[in-house]
Amino acid sequence: MRRTLGWVMALAVPAILLTGPFVSAQKKPLDKDLDKNSEKMIRAGQLVGQVVSVYEDKKKIRLKVGQVVQEFNPSAAQAMQNAQVQLAQAQRQRPINYQSIRSAQLAMAQAQAQPLYKAKMVWQEGEVQVMDDAIVRSRHPRLEFDDKGRPKKPTPKELKELKGTDPKLPGYKAEFGDIQPEQVIMVQLVRKKGAGGGAAPVKAPKGKGKMKEGEAADLLKDVLSENEPQASMIVIEREPAPPPAGK
């Protein structure tokens, strides 16, 4: 099974929570469930990540996506255990030593203040196949410059034209060639209806007998490629950060 398929299917689950530098870029889920030109395609999830590479010849994008995971904090667990032992020993002392009990209670409160699990950002990279008729949009209109190289402010009429005729689409019109490394983008994924529910047996094409091992592997690769999630819409959420002054 292709590594790309596994990566995309794992990250296409809607339950993924993204935080860190990309959280402000994620918007309300799109209302469009299906691509207009692909009646048999259904939504397969949404990704927000940073572009690593763009392969124009293959129409693929390599993304870096962050996923928040909960990591066990062994030091907090050890502190809690030590505080419990300290409190139990203080309560068994005879005669009663209230100072020892107060110290143990303070240690217990400090241990309880430490979280047993810490949120950790895990980064993964993978490639996303873009459909030929995928919609590309940008949250901000494309910059135009005057003869002196200064950016021009678009007029209301120009902004309306850049938005296009479909009011449901976010942002402004863009093209696949506008996608560049280090941009933050939102990717709407779709897949064929019925795909992803378990691998179907690979059968030899009609009119052909038993396939050789290499032919079967090639056919399986083609089947997986046809059924993997693809990008039906890409929204450029944020441009790369400008380089520091003086560089």
Q: Report yes or no on 171 lying in a domain.
A: yes
Q: Report yes or no on 245 lying in a domain.
A: no
Q: Report yes or no on 121 lying in a domain.
A: no
Tokens of 97: 């030593």
Looking at the structure, tell me whether residues 191 and 155 fall in a common domain. Answer: yes
The candidate with the shortest Cα–Cα distance to 49, out of 67, 63, 32, is 63
Q: Report yes or no on 69 lying in a domain.
A: no
Q: Report how far residue 150's alpha carbon sits from residue 119's, in angstroms, rounded to the nearest whole number.
A: 44
Q: Report yes or no on 123 lying in a domain.
A: no
Looking at the structure, tell me whether residues 109 and 215 fall in a common domain. Answer: no
Looking at the structure, tell me whether residues 17 and 106 fall in a common domain. Answer: no
Q: Report yes or no on 223 lying in a domain.
A: yes
Residues in the chain where the model's pLDDT stays below 50? 1-29, 31-38, 198-202, 204, 219-220, 223-224
CA–CA distances in Å: residue 163 to residues 94, 156, 157:
80, 11, 10
Looking at the structure, tell me whether residues 41 and 138 fall in a common domain. Answer: yes
Looking at the structure, tell me whether residues 88 and 163 fall in a common domain. Answer: no
Looking at the structure, tell me whether residues 44 and 144 fall in a common domain. Answer: yes
Number of domains in the chain: 2
Question: What local confidence, expressed as pLDDT, does residue 15 receive?
Answer: 34
Looking at the structure, tell me whether residues 107 and 135 fall in a common domain. Answer: no
Looking at the structure, tell me whether residues 58 and 92 fall in a common domain. Answer: no
Helix or strand or coil: residue 227?
A: helix
Tokens of 34: 């299906």
In this structure, what DSSP letter does residue 14 have? T
Looking at the structure, tell me whether residues 95 and 215 fall in a common domain. Answer: no
State pLDDT tens for residues 182-223.
Answer: 999 999 999 887 655 544 444 545 555 555 555 555 544 554
Looking at the structure, tell me whether residues 94 and 179 fall in a common domain. Answer: no
Looking at the structure, tell me whether residues 59 and 150 fall in a common domain. Answer: yes
Give counts: helices (H), strands (E), the chain: 5, 8
The candidate with the shortest Cα–Cα distance to 189, out of 123, 131, 126, is 131
Question: What local confidence, expressed as pLDDT, does residue 40 receive?
Answer: 79
pTM: 0.59
For residue 168, give its domain range.
Answer: 3-64+131-202+210-238
Residue with structure tokens 């990008």? 231
Looking at the structure, tell me whether residues 217 and 97 fall in a common domain. Answer: no
Q: Report yes or no on 243 lying in a domain.
A: no
Q: Report yes or no on 247 lying in a domain.
A: no
